[in-house]
Amino acid sequence: MKKLFASIVVSILCISVFGQHEIGLKLNSGLSYLNTKAGLKIDNQKNKFQYSGQGGFYYNVALPKKFMFGAEVLFMQIEGKDYTKIMFTDNLGNQTGEYGIDIVHWNISYLGIPVYIGYRIKRFDISLGFQINFALTSSGTEKGYGISSGKSFLYKNVYKKLNIDSYDFGPRIGLIYRLPKRLSLEANYYYGLNNILKTHFGNWKWKVQQFTVGLRVQLFDLGRLKKKE
Which phi and psi angles does 15 have, rounded to 5°? -70, -25
Instruction: Write down all domains in the chain, each with its CATH number in brackets.
Output: 2-228 (2.40.160.20)
Contacts of 66 (CB under 8 A, 6+ apart): 119, 120, 121
CB proximity list for 92: less than 8 A, separation 6 or greater: none
For residue 195, the 8-state DSSP code is -
The pLDDT assigned to 19 comes to 59
Compute how many other C-beta atoms are within 10 angstroms of the C-beta atom of residue 215.
15
At 43 the pLDDT is 61
pLDDT in tens, the chain (229 residues): 555 545 545 554 555 455 578 999 999 999 999 998 765 555 678 899 999 999 999 999 988 889 999 999 999 999 999 998 888 988 888 988 999 999 999 999 999 999 999 999 999 999 999 999 999 999 999 999 999 988 999 999 999 999 999 999 999 999 999 998 899 999 999 999 999 998 766 677 899 999 999 999 999 887 654 444 4
DSSP string covering 97-150: EEEEEEEEEEEEEEEEEEEEEEEEETTEEEEEEEEEEEEEEEEEEEEEEEEETT
Nearest to 217 by CA among 175, 174, 180: 180
- Nearest residue to 195 (alpha-carbon basis) of 165, 218, 228, 216: 165
Task: Enter the pTM of the model.
Answer: 0.84
E strand map for the chain: 21-37, 45-48, 50-62, 67-89, 95-121, 124-148, 151-159, 167-178, 183-191, 205-221
pLDDT score at 7: 55
